[in-house]
């Protein structure tokens, strides 16, 4: 019998070890029960299980780990008719009522916890004393059942057999009483399963330390730079950027190759990604190839690459002329209709790069960036994050306080690039009236401009426009897609 019981204890311990790793929603409870003790039955073939009972009283503390497992620490005090054991370890009789005190540590496995009726089984270790002097250890094994009264009170009954480590002292104990919630210790205001004392957002239900995680990426929204877009911790909740080129993998056309054009390499910096460039090592404007005479025929296919002419004539001119009077024959002038000193073309911004080769002809730049000013990777990220993160009060053009940080970052970027202007472009999803969405997008773009003006940015450096629901970048049929479409874009314009 005892070998069987010890096998049960070993199996139960392994079960508890598995269950305890699944703890989820800890709850503290207190049990108060009258207890009935029987030392006779185990020594008389367990007959009269509910006879010859002595009375005791229990107060117990319980710590619950999720719905399946809990630990209990019950203290029992009362009286009992203890067995009288002779020198041959035989029980010869029972003494009169003597003081009984016992303390256990129990592991409980619950079934259907939270339902109207919830059975449980338990096992553990404990000890008892007779007349507060004679101590012996015992191993309780039992079962019980909870009857739920309300969220705070449960009627509980239980019976256990206690294997004593002293000959003749095995006993049965039965109890019935109340299990009460110690709700002060486990208050959960937002009902998200995380007690207020451990909840970083005690008034808002959430899944990450009690806080919301809208994009389900394991990073709480209040710590997530891209709360509507799943990302990774090392990128502060924004999507990964494997090639570290400043373009998130979700937007990167070449996520494993660092590049400057939608995340793709553009070796000759002509604005055409190498993968689409017919001449990837030479800058050009026609499918990535040079068209020196701007006749619409790439130099590699042009029989007169420096003289403009129709394709029907192999790219060679039919007549010779100099319409702009700059001393360069039209056939050799890349800008035959505009007077210029740079091989027949003007250099409006004076940066030493002719307008026909300058991607920012009105703003001085560097040749390595196609005539545009260099923008650091971190500054490009500021504009991209702001597009996704600037939020407004629902249905209004009132900017949320959480968005001020992103707008302040834009103020910093504008301070670094005084020659940069911004086009602030408001967009919405397709929910609601078209005209209302159009007006809302215009108001939101204007609200962002007003905020930047309040921080010292000149209004002359910004233009605002609302596109309503006309330029979606996500699927309006899904909540995530609509969230992407509700955005305010900050597009650089160079002077």
pLDDT band at 492 (very low <50, low <70, confident <90, very high): confident
- Which pLDDT value is given to residue 363? 79
* Stronger pLDDT, 88 or 80, i.e. the higher one: 80
Residue-level length of the chain: 495
For the chain, the structural domain boundaries read: 2-181, 377-494
Whether residue 242 is predicted with pLDDT greater than 80 in this model: the reply is no
- Which pLDDT value is given to residue 185? 54
Average pLDDT of 8-20? 40
Q: Return the minimum-mean-pLDDT range out of 182-191, 229-238, 347-356.
A: 182-191
Rounded distance between C-alpha atoms, residue 332 and residue 205, angstroms = 70
Q: What is the pLDDT of residues 153-178, one digit of tens each?
A: 999 999 999 999 998 899 999 999 99
- Which pLDDT value is given to residue 320? 64
Considering 71-75, 148-152, 206-210, 390-394, the range whose residues carry the highest mean pLDDT is 71-75
Q: What is the pLDDT of residues 256-311, one digit of tens each?
A: 777 777 778 878 787 888 788 888 888 887 788 888 888 888 888 888 988 888 88
Whether residue 438 is predicted with pLDDT greater than 60 in this model: the reply is yes
CATH superfamily of 377-494: OmpA-like domain (3.30.1330.60)
Architecture per CATH, 2-181: Beta Barrel (2.40)
Average pLDDT of 193-198? 76
Average pLDDT of 194-199? 77
Beta bridge partner(s), residue 466? 426
Q: Any residues with CB less than 8 A from the CB of 349 and at least 6 apart, and which?
A: 358, 360, 361, 362, 363, 364, 365, 371
Average pLDDT of 460-476? 92
Q: What letter would DSSP give residue 400?
A: P
pLDDT band at 151 (very low <50, low <70, confident <90, very high): confident
* Stronger pLDDT, 117 or 150, i.e. the higher one: 117
pLDDT band at 459 (very low <50, low <70, confident <90, very high): very high
Dihedral of CA 469/472/475/480: which sign? negative
Rounded distance between C-alpha atoms, residue 444 and residue 451, angstroms = 11
Whether residue 24 is predicted with pLDDT greater than 50 in this model: the reply is no
- Which pLDDT value is given to residue 88? 83
- Which pLDDT value is given to residue 59? 96
Dihedral of CA 403/405/410/414: which sign? positive
pLDDT band at 10 (very low <50, low <70, confident <90, very high): very low
CA 425 to mean position of chain CA atoms: 28
Whether residue 470 is predicted with pLDDT greater than 50 in this model: the reply is yes
Q: Return the minimum-mean-pLDDT range out of 39-43, 145-149, 253-257, 343-347.
A: 253-257
- Which pLDDT value is given to residue 97? 86
CA dihedral 25, 29, 35, 41 (to 10 degrees): 10
Average pLDDT of 66-87? 92
End-to-end distance of the chain based on CA atoms, in angstroms?
92
* Stronger pLDDT, 38 or 310, i.e. the higher one: 38
Tokens coding 297: 């025929």
Q: What letter would DSSP give residue 15?
A: H
Total Cβ atoms within 10 A of residue 117: 10
Beta bridge partner(s), residue 177? 156
The mean pLDDT value of the chain amounts to 84
**Cα dist. 116→67, 145, 148, 155, 188 in Å?**
14, 10, 5, 10, 21
- Which pLDDT value is given to residue 158? 96
Of 349, 343, 360, 355, which is closest to residue 271 (Cα–Cα)? 360
* Stronger pLDDT, 144 or 131, i.e. the higher one: 144
Whether residue 184 is predicted with pLDDT greater than 70 in this model: the reply is no
Whether 372 contacts 360, CB under 8 Å:
yes
Average pLDDT of 371-399? 82
pLDDT band at 141 (very low <50, low <70, confident <90, very high): very high
Of 158, 137, 117, which is closest to residue 31 (Cα–Cα)? 158
Q: Any residues with CB less than 8 A from the CB of 355 and at least 6 apart, and which?
A: 335, 338, 340, 342, 345, 346, 347, 348, 361
Q: What is the pLDDT of residues 300-309, one digit of tens each?
A: 888 898 888 8
Whether residue 186 is predicted with pLDDT greater than 70 in this model: the reply is no
Tokens coding 7: 């096998």
Considering 232-236, 309-313, 336-340, 446-450, the range whose residues carry the highest mean pLDDT is 446-450
**Cα dist. 21→62, 82, 113 in Å?**
18, 40, 18
- Which pLDDT value is given to residue 319? 65
Rounded distance between C-alpha atoms, residue 37 and residue 32, angstroms = 16
* Stronger pLDDT, 186 or 484, i.e. the higher one: 484
**With pLDDT > 90 as the criterion, what percentage of the chain qualifies?**
32
Of 363, 385, 381, 383, which is closest to residue 372 (Cα–Cα)? 363
Q: What letter would DSSP give residue 211?
A: B
Angle formed at CA 386 by CA 385 and CA 389, multiple of 5 degrees: 85
Beta bridge partner(s), residue 490? 424
Of 115, 125, 111, which is closest to residue 72 (Cα–Cα)? 125
Whether residue 7 is predicted with pLDDT greater than 50 in this model: the reply is no
């Amino acid at each position: 019998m005892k070998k069987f019981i010890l096998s049960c204890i070993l199996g139960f311990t392994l079960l508890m070890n598995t269950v305890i790793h699944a703890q989820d929603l800890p709850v503290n409870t207190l049990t108060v029960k009258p207890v009935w003790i029987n030392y006779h039955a185990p020594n008389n073939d367990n007959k009269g299980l509910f006879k010859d009972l002595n009375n005791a009283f229990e107060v117990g503390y319980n710590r619950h780990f999720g719905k399946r497992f809990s630990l209990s620490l019950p203290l029992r005090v009362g009286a009992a008719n203890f067995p009288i054991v002779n020198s041959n370890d035989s029980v010869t009789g029972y003494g009169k009522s003597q003081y009984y005190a016992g303390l256990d540590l129990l592991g409980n496995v619950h079934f259907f916890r939270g339902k109207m009726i919830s059975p449980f089984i338990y096992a553990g270790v404990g000890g008892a004393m007779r007349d507060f002097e004679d101590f012996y250890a015992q191993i309780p094994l039992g079962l019980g059942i909870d009857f739920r009264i309300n969220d705070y009170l449960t009627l509980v009954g239980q019976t256990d057999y206690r294997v004593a480590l002293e000959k003749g002292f095995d006993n049965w104990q039965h109890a019935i009483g109340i299990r009460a919630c110690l709700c002060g210790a486990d208050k959960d205001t937002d009902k998200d399963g995380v007690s207020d004392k451990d909840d970083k957002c005690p008034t808002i239900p959430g899944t990450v330390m009690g806080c919301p995680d809208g994009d389900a990426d394991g990073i709480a929204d209040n710590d997530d730079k891209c709360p509507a877009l799943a990302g990774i911790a090392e990128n502060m909740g924004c999507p990964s950027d494997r090639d570290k080129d400043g373009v998130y993998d979700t937007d990167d056309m070449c996520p494993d190759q660092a590049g400057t054009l939608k995340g793709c390499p553009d070796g000759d910096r002509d604005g055409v990604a190498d993968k689409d460039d017919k001449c990837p090592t030479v800058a050009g404007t026609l499918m990535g190839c040079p068209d020196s005479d701007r006749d619409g025929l790439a130099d590699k296919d042009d029989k007169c690459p420096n003289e403009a002419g129709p394709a029907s004539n192999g790219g060679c001119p039919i007549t010779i002329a100099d319409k702009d009077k700059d001393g360069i024959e039209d056939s050799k002038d890349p800008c035959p209709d505009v007077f210029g000193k740079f091989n027949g073309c003007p250099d409006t911004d004076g940066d030493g790069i002719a307008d026909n080769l300058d991607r920012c002809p009105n703003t001085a730049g560097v040749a390595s960036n196609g005539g545009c000013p260099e923008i650091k990777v971190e500054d490009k990220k500021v504009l991209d994050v702001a597009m996704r993160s600037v939020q407004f009060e629902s249905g209004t053009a009132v900017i949320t306080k959480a968005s001020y940080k992103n707008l302040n970052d834009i103020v910093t970027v504008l301070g670094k690039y005084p020659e940069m202007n911004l086009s602030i472009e408001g967009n919405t999803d397709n929910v609601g009236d078209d005209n209302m969405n159009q007006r809302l997008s215009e108001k939101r773009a204007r609200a962002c401009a007003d905020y930047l003006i309040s921080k010292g940015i000149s209004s002359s450096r910004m233009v605002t426009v609302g596109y309503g629901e006309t330029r979606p970048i996500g699927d309006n049929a899904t909540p995530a897609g609509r969230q992407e479409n509700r955005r305010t874009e900050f597009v650089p314009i160079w002077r």
